[in-house]
Amino acid sequence: MDKLKAMHTFVQIADQGSLTAAAQAMDSSLPAVVRTLAAFEAELGVRLFNRTTRRISLTDEGRRHLDSCRQVLATLQEAEAALKAESSEPAGHLTITAPVQFGQLHVAPAITRFVQRYPQMRCSVLLYDRVVNLLEEGIDLGIRIGPLEDSSLVAQTIGHIRRVVVASPGYLERVGRPHHPKDLLQSNCIRNTGNNPSWGPFIDKGRSFSIAVSGNLEFNQIAPTVQACVAGLGFGMFLSYQVAPYLAQKQLQVVLESFESPPRPLSVVYPHARLLPTRTRVLVDWMREELKGFANPADQGS
């Protein structure tokens, strides 16, 4: 017995209100519909309809089973739609948000390549250094660094970002490498005024703590703060992607690695949806591939 066909026939009879109308809607014969219904009732061991010469109506068992059949058929339709969508070119408009500097360095170039690959797509990229409410602001997808607090969103972790303390090789030669975060109290620390004046959290023997550092130079933007550290003026604390090029070129070195707190998750987030649009699903997969270099936190800031 084809149970999916039987469910479809059962739902059609309930929706059309008669066996004849259901047969017409399904482009089938009345005897075939009657046989399918009878076999379905026999399989379930219950009567789904009360039938008279004038009308047909659902039994209590039929009403309960109707909702279940609708859900099964709807799930199947969604699965089939998703498979068909995978073979089609994504098209339409998407709005994406990300932190400013990370967005400039990584997200914007990735989205540019995405539109080059899928020319039927239109994308708007909004870069903010604040937590954006995707639902309220009509945004389809976000890139976030840190734990997700909004339960109305789906988050796919695609990598990790470390918070690192760095200094130039020249500065380390002059003052020596710190052996403990407390050593930073006797050192010149270049601060970013947009962050908490204390550096941390650090981890020592399972205990989390921060250090109230001080120095003779501070900025309200990351870029000049990094440049001051490259120039050898002192220590700086940054997210690993903010100093990655300078680490690769040996212009900065990471210190106090053994005291680092756990890396922050790098996630693609989007609102809950039973059936994610093809364009969104394709972009999520695209960003996962584009940002795969962040999958191993050990590679960031080393």
pLDDT tens digits for 1-43?
A: 788 999 999 999 998 888 899 999 899 999 999 999 999 999 9
Q: Are residues 123 and 208 in the same domain?
A: no
CATH code, domain with 214? 3.40.190.290
Surface-to-core class of residue 224, CB atoms within 10 Å of its CB (0-12 exposed, 13-18 middle, 19+ buried): middle
Distance CA 292, CA 302 (A): 16
Token digits of residue 108? 């914007």
CB atoms closer than 10 angstroms to residue 19: 19
CATH code, domain with 144? 3.40.190.10
Distance CA 197, CA 149 (A): 24
Helix (H, G, I), strand (E, B) or coil at 238: strand
Q: Are residues 31 and 178 in the same domain?
A: no
pLDDT in tens, the chain (302 residues): 788 999 999 999 998 888 899 999 899 999 999 999 999 999 999 999 998 777 889 999 998 899 889 889 888 887 777 666 655 688 899 999 999 999 999 999 999 999 999 999 999 999 998 888 888 888 999 999 988 776 678 888 999 999 999 999 999 999 999 999 999 999 999 998 866 678 999 999 999 999 999 999 999 889 999 999 999 999 999 999 999 999 999 999 999 999 999 999 999 999 876 567 888 989 999 999 999 888 765 555 55
- Alpha helices by DSSP H, listed for 236-301, are 240-248, 278-290
Token digits of residue 31? 């005897």
DSSP state letter for 193: T
Token digits of residue 158? 């695609």
Range of the domain at 205: 163-259
Token digits of residue 48? 């789904």
Q: Are residues 174 and 30 in the same domain?
A: no
Domains in the chain, number: 3
Distance CA 231, CA 188 (A): 13
- Final residue of a structural domain among 86, 121, 149: 86
What pLDDT is attached to residue 299?
56
What pLDDT is attached to residue 51?
83
Average pLDDT along the chain: 89
Q: Are residues 200 and 255 in the same domain?
A: yes
| Amino acid type, 25 | A
Sorted by sequence, the CB contacts under 8 Å of residue 32 that are 6+ apart come out as 23
- Alpha helices by DSSP H, listed for 45-124, are 60-86, 100-102, 108-117
- Alpha helices by DSSP H, listed for 160-254, are 169-175, 222-230, 240-248
Q: Are residues 197 and 169 in the same domain?
A: yes
Token digits of residue 84? 């068909």
- Final residue of a structural domain among 86, 116, 146: 86
Residue with tokens 């996630």: 267
Q: For 114-124, how does the pLDDT look when each residue is reduced to its tens digit (9 = 90+)?
A: 999 999 999 99
Distance CA 229, CA 217 (A): 10
Residue with tokens 């120095």: 215
Q: What angle do CA 141, 145, 150 make, to 5 degrees?
A: 60
In angstroms, the Cα distances linking 12 to 38, 42, 50, 277 are: 15, 18, 16, 28
DSSP state letter for 292: G
